[in-house]
Amino acid sequence: MKKLLFVIFTLILPALATAQQPGAPTDTTAMRHITFESIEVVPEAARVKGMLLLNKDIQYELEGAVDNMYNFKYERAEKQFKSLRRRYPEHPLPYFLLGLSQWWKILPTNIQTLQYDDSFFAYMDTTIQKAEKLYDADEDNVEAAFFMAAAYGFTARLHSERSNWRKATVASKRALDYMEKAKAGNGLSPEFLFGEALFNYYSVWIPEHYPMLRPVLLFFPNGDKRLGLKQLAYVANTGFYTGTESKLFLMKIYANEEKEMEKALQLAEELYQKYPDNAYFQRYYARLLFVQGHFTKAEQVSIDMLQRIQQEMPGYEAVSGRYASYILAYINQHKYHDLQKAEQHYKNSIVYAEMSDERDSGYYLNSYLNLARIADKRNDKATAKAYYSVVLKASEKKSANYKEAKEYLKKNRKK
């Protein structure tokens, strides 16, 4: 819980604090008074001129590279990012994209791998250095402020995941400072609006779910969850660099916070279809199919994930294996009533969970629970007791799993 609250501060508040302060001279929250259908972002030619972030020719050139990055074709993407770096060696954009590519190598492992940390931090540090030069030359350069805020925000997030709390706090504070400066660009492009959208949503959601944070959030502007969702949907549909990230956030919000599962599934399907080799998107799609009872599709997607793991495709590792194996186990147990296949898939899910050191995951615990039930069904009391013993140790005492395991072990104590 302590880590979760810290992550909220280092990942959400600093990175999302782009909303206007009350009484600020320039109001970028005018969207509060218009409908979603009428949302427009009208570029101001004089301010956009010279901004690589908003250069349409660069966006056209990089479209394939950005798609390759999200489709886990890292080498192809980085080749184009490095080409941009050769032409614009003093601009932060290519360094940020190279850093983002490292981030998407880390994310599929549930941020556990340390293999790419050094290169990630190096690219983000360089992004900051290049942006600082631009900002020092012109303090009204919102593009430079945007890149410093984004680079510091990502840096804070990874430091917090690594429990480097001091470094995370410092980077977080700097991200907050530069996001405040970058807010003047909100009206220029959906890229800048992304932060305000998230702030509007989470500045309301956080105090609703974590009341102890309300006194701290009094120092922030008032948010608007409904507006935040509309803004986020707009950025998801129109943003070039932030569009996919917006869809990812929107999908998670619909699934986890708003409980609008059909909307979450629709976005997951869009992301999966556009980036079919993205392990992170694929396993999220499989999970949403599974929890909504679309077992045929969930089975097909899960089988495909396991095949990709066997092929050692980038991003397809133990985490994806845990998802896919559990889904297939459950389907074989309850749809096909093939207990032998179900048992093997549950065991595989446990192995994958242990490989990724995620023994506290629900799939890990429920795999043991269902293995115990299967063993009891074939009257193998000794094996069932062994599995239930694991469930008993790993479950919370008031949970249904704990009660089931305790009752079974008590009933079969002498058998």
Check pLDDT > 50 for residue 71.
yes
| Amino acid letter for position 332 | N
Q: What would the two tokens of residue 357 be? A: 């050191």
Q: Do residues 371 and 357 touch, judged by C-beta distance below 8 A? A: no
Mean pLDDT for 89-105 is 97
Residue 209 has a pLDDT of 63
**Burial track 152-188 (b if 16+ CB lie within 10 A, e otherwise):** bbbbbbbbbbeeeeebbbebbebbbbbbbbbbbbbbb
Per-residue pLDDT of 23-69, as tens digits, reads 333 333 333 333 334 344 444 544 566 799 999 999 999 999 999 99
Q: What is the pLDDT of residue 335?
A: 96
d(CA 143, CA 129): 14
The alpha-helical segments, DSSP class H, found in 221-278 are 225-238, 243-252, 261-274
Q: What are phi and psi of 28, to 5 degrees?
A: -100, 15
Tell me whether residue 43 is exposed, middle or buried, using C-beta atoms within 10 angstroms of its C-beta: 0 to 12, 13 to 18, 19 or more. middle
CA distance 108 to 246: 17
Average pLDDT estimate for 131-148 = 94
Q: Domains along the chain?
A: 2-259 (no CATH), 275-411 (1.25.40.10)
pLDDT at res. 3:
43
Q: Please, what is the average pLDDT of the chain?
A: 85
pLDDT of residue 40: 42
What per-residue confidence (pLDDT) applies to 184? Answer: 81
Query: Cα 408 to chain center, whole Å?
Result: 39
Q: Note the pLDDT of residue 192.
A: 79
Q: Report the predicted TM-score, pTM, of the whole model to 2 decimal places.
A: 0.85
Beta strands in 59-182 (DSSP E): none
How far apart, in whole angstroms, are the C-alpha atoms of residue 284 and residue 252?
A: 9
Statement: residue 1 has pLDDT above 90: no
Per-residue pLDDT at 274 exceeds 70? yes
Cα separations in angstroms, 98 against 22, 76, 93, 119, 337? 37, 12, 9, 9, 48
Q: How confident is the model at residue 177 (pLDDT cuts 50, 70, 90)?
A: confident
Closest-CA residue to 127 (of 158, 152, 164): 152
Q: Give the pLDDT confidence of 390-402 residue by residue, as tens digits.
A: 999 999 998 999 9
Q: Tens digit of pLDDT for each residue in 8-24? A: 444 444 444 333 233 33
Q: Could you report the per-residue pLDDT of 344-361, keeping only the tens digit for each?
A: 999 999 999 999 998 888
List of residues 6+ apart from 89 with CB closer than 8 A: none
Cα(62)–Cα(240) distance, integer angstroms: 10
What pLDDT was estimated at residue 15? 40
* Over residues 90-119, mean pLDDT: 96
Question: Considering only CA atoms, which of 290, 209, 223 is closest in space to residue 29?
Answer: 223
Does the pLDDT at position 137 exceed 90? yes
Confidence of residue 207 (pLDDT cuts 50, 70, 90): low
Band of the pLDDT at 342, cuts 50, 70, 90?
A: very high
